[in-house]
Amino acid sequence: MSFERIGKMNTLMELATLINTSLDPKEIRTRAIEAGITLMDAEAGSLLLIDRVTNELYFEVALGEKGELLKEVRMTLGEGFAGWVARTGEPLIVDDVQNDPRFYRKADEKSRFVTRNLIAAPLRVKGKTLGVLEVMNKHNGAFTAEDMELFVSLANQVAPAVENAYLYEDLRETFFGTALALTEALEKRDSYTGGHTRRVRDYCMTIGVGMGLTKDEMDNLLLSAILHDIGKIGVRDSILGKEAPLSRDEAAVMGSHARIGADILRHVRTLKNVVPAVLSHHEKFDGSGYPARLRGDDIPLNARIISVADTFDAMTTDRPYRKALSKESAMAELRRCSGTQFDPTVVEAFVAASAAE
């Protein structure tokens, strides 16, 4: 075995390890293409997946100067080189793309990329084709049989990683969807707060993006926002649905929902990172909130974000005893209470992001 061959095999193993260290679908797919381009010493690459609803091929990720433009292109199975690979389940090398009758010209026309040669391999798991990995325009010479062997090996490593990412994505959607369904069922006890959880969730996502939170931080914020009022399951209907301002004693009972929610969620190991935000989303920046009178940065960031989103939704929603404020008036109230009730950084991020919409 030549030193070059050994080097490529080592590169293949390193790249395969990198691909399989993540469950983030986007990261896996991007790494897969980068691995293919590196291994084949090629100019560009793309990963096409089969739409599980329409059974069409679409460009999930395409690396190259105009790669993003290909996101709009879809092909039927059998159409183009990728369609041929997806339909037959066989890898493919094409030395002269422009003169091959299978060439799907719309992709090059859309991206303004000139494909000279390519190598493509199917992503198959348990006899099922998930998509196609392909790279184009080898820098030196043509793709070889040795390249094919390595590229198929790479595709065989990528396929289970893509499948695992699919499963993770499905589980994640089921988990978040179940949490949202549970809280929306709770909202039906109070006809005046319908849609509250979805709106707070959306406002929190707007703030999170504005503050530059990471994906993991955004996921935790999303779940915290969805579950922030779960403790209201322990508040009796006569208080929850009262069509008048609450008395002091009733307000204290209503306020207990933060502790109740935290106590409920503590029993679920996978929700341990959500508990602090649920417990503290009624704390105030100046220390006058509840239940622990936390102040400033001692209040968990997600709780500070939920506080702004929750209050904004309360101000802009009709209640039996008062009419909703306009969004402009509610924003002005957030600014007025910035530094006392609310974290100024969170308010600033919300105001800026809302103005940009």
Predicted TM-score (pTM) of the model is 0.70
239-251 residue pLDDT tens: 777 777 888 888 8
| DSSP state for residue 75 in the 8-state scheme | E
> Domain containing 223 — which CATH number?
1.10.3210.10
H-type alpha helices, the chain: 3-19, 25-40, 80-88, 105-111, 145-187, 196-210, 215-227, 237-240, 248-255, 257-265, 275-280, 301-315, 327-336, 344-356
User: Quick one: 78 and 18 in the same domain?
Assistant: yes
Whole-number Cα distances in Å, 33 to 120, 316, 353 = 11, 46, 33
Confidence class for position 10, pLDDT limits 50, 70, 90 = low
Last residue of a domain, one of 166, 197, 217: 166
Residues 78 and 182 both lie in one domain: no
Q: Is 232 a catalytic residue?
A: yes
CATH for 23: 3.30.450.40
Residue 111 binned pLDDT confidence (cut-offs 50, 70, 90): confident
| Domain with 233 in it | 175-356
- For residue 29, the model assigns a pLDDT of 79
Are 137 and 238 members of one domain?
Answer: no
Question: Are 274 and 243 contained in the same domain?
Answer: yes
pLDDT digits (tens, 9 = 90+) for 308-335: 999 999 999 887 667 889 999 999 999 9
Q: Which of 166, 188, 211 is the last residue of a domain?
A: 166
Are 233 and 153 in a shared domain? no
pLDDT at 7 over 90: no
Residue 126: other Cβ atoms inside 10 A: 7
Residues 193 and 334 in one domain: yes
**Quick one: pLDDT at residue 94?**
96
Which amino acid is it at 203? Y
Residue 353 binned pLDDT confidence (cut-offs 50, 70, 90): very high
- Active-site position among 26, 232, 272, 284: 232
Residues 184 and 239 in one domain: yes
Same domain, 155 and 185: no
Q: How long, in residues, is the chain?
A: 357
Identify the domain boundary among 166, 199, 231: 166
Q: Taking a C-beta distance cutoff of 8 angstroms, is the pair 280, 263 a contact?
A: no
Identity (one letter) of the amino acid at 170?
D
